[in-house]
Structure 1
Amino acid sequence: MNIPAHAPLHLLHTTAVGTLATHARQPEGFPYPSVLPFAPDSQHRPTILVSRLAEHTHNLHADPRAGFLVVDAPEGDVLSGQRVTLLGTFEPVDSTPEVVQRYLRYHPDAERYLVLGDFTFWAMRLERLRYIGGFGAMGWLGGAELDPLPPLGFDEENALIEEFSRFSGSSGGRGFQLLGIDRYGADLKLAGMRSRFAFDDAKLNTETLHAALKDCIQRHAN
């Protein structure tokens, strides 16, 4: 195993779309891949919003085991890009205000689907993952190895986003939005494009998180 520190974690925050592979009901047992948007939750797990009528939703109800592929291939060069294959089970997630608010920061257009009342959230419980970051940088990790640290609480993350979003606005930034914050980095939208600002190391307390976010704002808000 030769995986750069936290590379799979950062990749899950960089990409907005993944490939979900469920077990087909008919013909039974065959892989059934489909492409759909996702957002990482506070534990970096893919959270998806799917229609109750979708084939992959029926498949998950019958067998929650699934694979989820995330790829970052600049200029279409897949073999030189990063990709991570996640293996685990998907579980329904209640549409609490916390879940809805976080998902809509990443995918604001999804609000129209929530209004329909037919769409539900599912989150992946990771068992194992395989990361490939180019030649010589690949290997397997257990699900619990992705992040052993306790996640930021919803209220703490929201307070940081509110505080530093105001700071970015006062700096005259254009097209800058904070989507999410965790102990390893911040997810941004810059001129409509998703971006990840990786911290130099894990931030274990409020003081170090503030310092890292100030650096992030100074680099991107102007």
Structure 2
Amino acid sequence: MNIPAHAPLHLLHTAAVGTLATHARQPEGFPYPSVLPFAPDLQHRPTILVSRLAEHTHNLHADPRAGFLAVDAPDGDVLSGQRVTLLGTFEPVDSTPEVVQRYLRYHPDAERYLVLGDFTFWTMRLERLRYIGGFGAMGWLAGDELDPLPPLGFDEENGLIAQFPTQSGGKDGFQLLGVDRYGVDLKLNGARSRFPFDDAKPNTETLRAALEDCMQRYMN
């Protein structure tokens, strides 16, 4: 195994779209892949918003085991780019104000689906994952190895974001999406971007300092 530190974690914050592979009901047992947007939750796990009428939603109700693939190949060379395959089970998540608010920061257009009333959130509980970052950089990890640190809470993340408003004095098209102990998720001119920290930030003080550094780079 030769995986750069936190590379799978950062990739899950860089990609905006993933491939969900569920177990088909008809014909039974076959993989059923589907492409859809996702947002990383506070534990970096994919959270999806799906219609109750969708085939993959019916499949998950019958068998919650699934695979999920995220890819970052900005130059179009998939074999030289980064990709991570996640294996685990998807679980429904209540549409609490915190969950809705955070997901809409990453995918604001999803608000029109929430208005319809038949869309629900699901989050993946990781069992194993395989990361490939190019030649010689690949390997398996257990789900609990993705991030050994306790995640930020909704209130802590929102408090940090509130301290760094992005609407005044910033570059056109700049938006702060999310914060975790390893980096910041940004939207620059409509495209998802990841600002990784040099190391993990264990407390609010070190997170605030890292955010200040990020803001100085993008807001000036």
Q: Matches of residues 39-50 of structure 1 in structure 2 within 5 Å?
A: 39-50=39-50
Q: Aligned partners of 1:94, 1:169: CA distance in 2, in Å?
A: 30
User: What one-letter code is carried by the residue in structure 2 that aligns with 1:63?
Assistant: D
Correspondence for 1:208: 206
> How much is the aligned-residue C-alpha RMSD, in angstroms?
0.8
Q: Aligned partners of 1:164, 1:16: CA distance in 2, in Å?
A: 23
Asked if 2 retains the 8 angstrom alpha-carbon contact of 1:174 and 1:221, the reply is no
Q: Aligned partners of 2:184, 2:132: CA distance in 1, in Å?
A: 22
User: What one-letter code is carried by the residue in structure 2 that aligns with 1:14?
Assistant: T
What SS does the aligned partner of 2:8 have?
Answer: helix
For structure 1, the 5+ residue unaligned runs are: none
Q: Matches of residues 2-151 of structure 1 in structure 2 within 5 Å?
A: 2-151=2-151
Q: Deviations over 1:50-74 (max 9, x none)?
A: 0000000000000000000000012
- Give me the TM-score of the superposition, normalised by structure 1: 0.97
Q: Using the TM superposition, give the Cα deviation of residue 173 of structure 1 relative to its aligned residue in structure 2, in angstroms.
A: 2.9
What SS does the aligned partner of 2:162 have?
Answer: helix
- Give me the TM-score of the superposition, normalised by structure 2: 0.98
* Identity %, equivalent residues: 88
User: What one-letter code is carried by the residue in structure 1 that aligns with 2:191?
Assistant: M
For structure 2, the 5+ residue unaligned runs are: none
Q: Deviations over 1:86-140 (max 9, x none)?
A: 0000000000001000000000000000000010000000000000000000000
Q: Aligned partners of 2:102, 2:111: CA distance in 1, in Å?
A: 12
User: What one-letter code is carried by the residue in structure 1 that aligns with 2:57?
Assistant: T
Correspondence for 1:186: 184
Q: Using the TM superposition, give the Cα deviation of residue 175 of structure 1 relative to its aligned residue in structure 2, in angstroms.
A: 1.4
Correspondence for 1:154: 154
Greater mean deviation of Cα atoms: 173-182 or 61-70: 173-182
User: Structure 1 residue 176 and structure 2 residue 174: aligned?
Assistant: yes
